[in-house]
Structure 1
Amino acid sequence: MSKTVIVTDSTSDIPVDLVEQYNITIVPLRVLFGGDAYLDGKDITASQFYKRLVESSQLPTTSQPSPADFVAAYEDIFNKYPDCRILSMHLSSEMSGTYQSARLATDLIQENLQGQVTVWDSKSASYGFGMFVVHAAKLSSEGRTLEEIVASTEELRSKRQLYFLVDTLEYLQKGGRIGKASAVLGTLLNIKPILSIDREGVIYPVDKVRGRKKATSRIIEVFQRDLPGVTHIKVAVGTTADPASVHDFLEQLSAVFTIEETTYSDIGAVVGTHVGPGTIAAYIWPA
């Protein structure tokens, strides 16, 4: 049976210990502050990024890996495991060209290896798909086939619910997602937008609530609506520069659900460029 090797990109925001435990290959995106370019997660950590972000008057930009970056990653894997199959899992194609770069790379590797690479569009972002990558890597470590891994991961995707709360509208405005007037008014009114990602991988607004605690309470209400009858859950929580907020959120969540497993993820530089510090993202699925 062919070994399945899991590849992803740095926007998956997978905790380092899980990357190492399951030998996941990560191809980094780039973050650019003016003339300074950094490989996400390699040249700049999440904490270093947010420190520079709040100090900078100019919003950084991001860029996807090139097809050549993926070719290098795939060829390195095939050199180590000549008979393996690769499952390359990436940020929503609606948000980035990363998935397309990975697809193009499969046309550039040796012809006899092209059919050995499967590129999978997560239709999600951050640990919202990082959890799929970890799930796939666990199954691979158990010796499951590529087809079994993809089928199981797609089933998990159908059950997982996610919402994220942006603390400030400033970065959405700087990135051109909303107008300046809306950002200023929202800030004055202490509006906390609740967002999600639809089944096609597109971000959409869910609600707007005044005050952070009311907003997290609203997220939990929506989780209850989405998972009727579910009492036991697994949860993953992603944060930018405010990890303390996770404790309060999990306390609220545990009053409604029995939490069987919790995973903590740092939202990295690329996603953080667009959502800013103070963001909290919650991903839950039935235990």
Structure 2
Amino acid sequence: MSVVVVTDSSSRLAPDECKQWNIRQVPLHVLVDLIDLRDGIDEVPYDIHAVPRATTAGASPADLAETYQHALRDSGGDGVVAVHLSAALSSSYSSAVQAAREFGSAVRVVNSRSAAMGVGFVALAAAHAAAAGADVDSVEAAARSAVERNHAFIVVHRLDNLRRSGRIGTAASWLGTALSLKPLLRLDVDGRLVLDQRIRTIGKAHAAMIDRVVELVGERRASIAVHHVDNHDGADQVGAALTDRLPQVESLSVCDMGPVLSIHVGAGAIGVVVQTAE
């Protein structure tokens, strides 16, 4: 048997990818009035980000414990490494730590300090190590190494969603007077959403994000994911620009940000997640 990797539905990993690498996903939740929709299981309206009543909730300790138990059994006792959405953005990580206590050292929980494919890249790094026969210590080490090589940027069209959700972090001090800005935001080393640059137009903000990614990657190999909320054309343009300027990139994908994250960043948002090579 081998170590099994668990993540949550924020990771944006495709079902085929999870199946290929034996990754288990726990759903996050979208709440609308009294309806609880499980991300990746229940059908969530594509425009859920436009529903003012929509909120989100992390994975529950009970769901996590059940998933960890099944994964540990399927590993034949080799162990489980769980990779979750940034602790600064979601309660899922703290719930995961709570759920993992009953399994002792057999279940290791890793804070991705990221979101979307930032979580997915870390889970994949762990799964690749597990598939190569690494023990649970080495699989955990592979995940933590990937965390250190993760970078994420996002440009939002409006700040309303972030303002409502409280996910803006240390950038909150300028929200009151900066509603006309199209800021470039990033996830810092602790996985908090913070201001990177103040910018006045969407076009300039996207250009600045591309420049930041190109500067960060340099001549290194990297994997990149471009995410969007109902803005596929804009995401394709950002992806094309990055492909042109970073020909050494190993992979570049474009996909939606998913319902949970879209509720917090709103329509039109485009984000870029980068995983640099070791």
Normalised by the length of structure 2, the TM-score is: 0.88
1:59 to 47, 53, 57: 53
Equivalent-residue separation in structure 1 for 2:266 and 2:149 (angstroms):
28
Gaps of 5+ in 1: none
Deviations along 1:183-223, whole A, 9 cap, x unmatched? 7963xx4x322111111111101113222221111012222
Match of 2:257 in 1: 267
Point out where structure 2 has 5 or more consecutive residues left out of the alignment: none
Question: Larger deviation: 80-89 or 170-179?
Answer: 170-179
**Alignment counterpart, residue 251 of structure 1, candidates 240, 245, 250:** 240
CA offsets per residue over residues 29-78 of structure 1, 9 Å max, x none? Answer: 21111111111121134xx2x32432x3x231112222211121122223
Contact 2:48 2:263 survives alignment (8 Å): no
Aligned counterpart for 2:230 among listed residues 220, 228, 241 = 241
Q: Superposition pairs for residues 1-287 of structure 1, below 5 Å?
A: 3-45=2-44, 48=45, 50-54=46-50, 56=51, 58-108=52-102, 113-176=103-166, 182=175, 186=179, 189=180, 191-227=181-217, 229-230=218-219, 232-258=221-247, 259-286=249-276
Kept after mapping to 2: 8 A contact 1:231/1:257: no
CA distance in 2, matches of 1:182, 1:66: 31
TM-score, structure 1 normalization: 0.85
Aligned residues: 272
Mapped to 2, the partners of 1:196 and 1:219 lie a distance apart of 9
**Distance verdict in 2 for CA 1:77–1:158, change over 3 Å:** closer
User: Between the two proteins, what is the percent identity of the paired residues?
Assistant: 27
> 1:14–1:125: structure 2 CA closer, same or farther, 3 Å change rule?
same
Select the structure of larger CA radius of gyration: 1
1:245 alignment partner AA: G
C-alpha spacing 1:19/1:183, structure 2 compared with 1 (3 Å): farther
Aligned Cα root-mean-square deviation (Å):
2.4
